Structure 1
């Protein structure tokens, strides 16, 4: 019996050997699997999912639904089936960088790039929960990077049959923003938000999801992959993103009697785009924007407004922040003002009536923006 067991063990090792070698050759793989489900596979409302699976579900209130109006917008943004879109050449793409923010500039119109970017995210293992072609925004569902799961002997031996038992304890989501430039090209911004599962309680008997900082390198990875998808060679795309010249810090927090502001050492056009990316990264709910007036209309969930909520409720509020959740929709509304003054710009916080906001909440928002704009 011992000999037979040894033979079985050797056979299992042989079957998984090739996969293990592949993993060693690609230690930094990115392989995402959405934490959500496709609309056609959602569990009916009268059924309850097993408790074992609930641990891995992100506590987000709104998962995105398919509507007739959404379908109409999607079809209007997609080119006709008979249209052939020529891939962009490497000469038509470049990476720009300011601080730890990078973005892709492509010499094509947003209408041409939109369906390509949508297919890119879906082929990368994500579900899309927000698609707004008019605003140039699409957002993925929370997803797990399965490549971070250790490829040990036991998991390889079991194969994919029990793969759902493994979890990294981390989830990521990405928002893509398309901005039309004056010369007809498109600026593409990818912002990351992350969450991680941590133990809580006196005996560490339960877990809760807490925010992780945005990962600029993960954003850069997907920018390079998007470049390759649009038309650049993969090696060239990775080198272009990696070698983008980093700029010195261009933002500082200034205190004043009117509540303070963030001074950005850039003109209005660049500052406007970077503020939009900063709001995406932090997770603000951007309800509207008026570029002519230099205003973003946002909602902000202040964690200090309800001192009686427990830790789980606190983190759940942060988790749904920036989504289409009820909490985000009813949160206080503010205006983020961007005013250019020659080669510099000022970013200030106004209340819903357009007057300067001098509360601690405004100071907190300015600190968050300043950290992203450095």
Structure 2
């Protein structure tokens, strides 16, 4: 009896202290949420369940990367690839060579509006393996690569730095880390464009998704698209500069990219076309980046004729919830059947350093439909 009484007298205060500590922890968790919104940390989520997205419909061989077709022969990149399909491709010089860091003066940052990109004095073949390693070091896997369009695209990954760093989470430790989720995912596309002098322009475009509650009782969740984040694009370009140059001062590189001089607006919407006050070469590359950022699927491109062959689904032309569901859950051909195909035409206009961007139907005829007008507005907003 004495032992039981002693045990009761000792365990009761202990239980009280445990309840008090638990209540205190929950109170602190509710009141001391801290978001590290100015940081990115995708490495902790690399093994998390990723959203499934479709690969490009045109899957090309990895040989002949960035090969440019003769203007007298096959014009489209996919057609050029097919025409060489029976040939034995020679290794691309520099594609697998070990390349050391570039000097800081070999990397330049350019900016138009909130678009930023790098100009690096290395060939696309030299940069490709370095960029693959860069994304892997930052917690991403390369989900798709396209030799025809010069793009590589990551998988969907969560930014773990946005998870509340509160007392309760720190007390529990990393054991239940996977129980925490921001309800957001990000993916990035890198586009490489070869310049006449052998240098390369590198563009990074962001796509975001977030999980929202739906239903009368908010009992279900669906993934929806959230706007692209120019700040994240800038931050990763800064990290890319640090990676390519071998500097350890990543924050300084990020600041340099973020503070790149702002140039005047370069585009305006005039009737059924977008006028860009830039020559064809620059306008062509910026339209490619704009298509990436808006979320178009570029199936092919013909630089000789100035045509991007794209797929686009108008979210207002279909059920919104069903649209977003199909956007992130592929495995059948429904999305491809529903998506409309268009041609985005870039051509030099009358006068020096002026280009025009128009939208055509899949058969190459001018398209004046409401959807085509919407596409032009989206492009104009990106090209300003």
Q: Which one of 205, 210, 233 corresponds to residue 224 of structure 2?
A: 210
Report if aligned partners of 1:220, 1:241 keep a CA contact under 8 Å in 2: yes
**CA distance in structure 2 between the aligned counterparts of 1:80 and 1:252, rounded to whole angstroms:** 39
Q: Which residue is equivalent to 1:360?
A: 370
Corresponding residue SS for 1:160? coil
TM-score using structure 1 length: 0.79
**CA distance in structure 2 between the aligned counterparts of 1:338 and 1:238, rounded to whole angstroms:** 32
Corresponding residue SS for 2:178? helix
**CA distance in structure 2 between the aligned counterparts of 1:285 and 1:127, rounded to whole angstroms:** 19
Structure 1 residues 147 and 25: alpha-carbon distance in aligned structure 2, compared to 1, 3 A threshold? closer
Mapped pair 1:28 → 2:38: yes
**CA distance in structure 1 between the aligned counterparts of 2:304 and 2:95, rounded to whole angstroms:** 32
| Residues 137-286 of structure 1 aligned to structure 2 (within 5 Å) | 137-231=151-245, 233=247, 234-255=250-271, 260-286=272-298
**CA distance in structure 2 between the aligned counterparts of 1:147 and 1:125, rounded to whole angstroms:** 13
Q: CA deviation at 1:317?
A: 3.7
Q: CA deviation at 1:356?
A: 0.4
**CA distance in structure 2 between the aligned counterparts of 1:338 and 1:246, rounded to whole angstroms:** 24
Structure 1 residues 90 and 181: alpha-carbon distance in aligned structure 2, compared to 1, 3 A threshold? same
Q: Which residue is equivalent to 1:19?
A: none
What CA deviation, in whole Å up to 9, does each residue of 1:94-153 have, x standing for no partner?
100001100011000111110010011011111111012453210011110000001111
Q: CA deviation at 1:367?
A: 1.2
Q: CA deviation at 1:225?
A: 0.4
**CA distance in structure 2 between the aligned counterparts of 1:339 and 1:112, rounded to whole angstroms:** 30
What CA deviation, in whole Å up to 9, does each residue of 1:302-353 have, x standing for no partner?
23444xx4x4212224447xx9973453322110001122222111001112
CA RMSD between the two structures: 3.3
Q: CA deviation at 1:210?
A: 1.2
Which runs of no fewer than 5 residues in structure 1 stay unpaired?
14-22, 38-52
**CA distance in structure 1 between the aligned counterparts of 2:369 and 2:306, rounded to whole angstroms:** 21
Larger radius of gyration: 2
Mapped pair 1:340 → 2:348: yes
Report if aligned partners of 1:61, 1:326 keep a CA contact under 8 Å in 2: no
Structure 1 residues 121 and 78: alpha-carbon distance in aligned structure 2, compared to 1, 3 A threshold? farther
Mapped pair 1:293 → 2:305: yes
Q: CA deviation at 1:159?
A: 1.7
**CA distance in structure 2 between the aligned counterparts of 1:238 and 1:201, rounded to whole angstroms:** 41
Report if aligned partners of 1:114, 1:133 keep a CA contact under 8 Å in 2: no
Q: How many residues align?
A: 332
Structure 1 residues 6 and 115: alpha-carbon distance in aligned structure 2, compared to 1, 3 A threshold? farther
Report if aligned partners of 1:295, 1:337 keep a CA contact under 8 Å in 2: yes
Report if aligned partners of 2:45, 2:160 keep a CA contact under 8 Å in 1: no
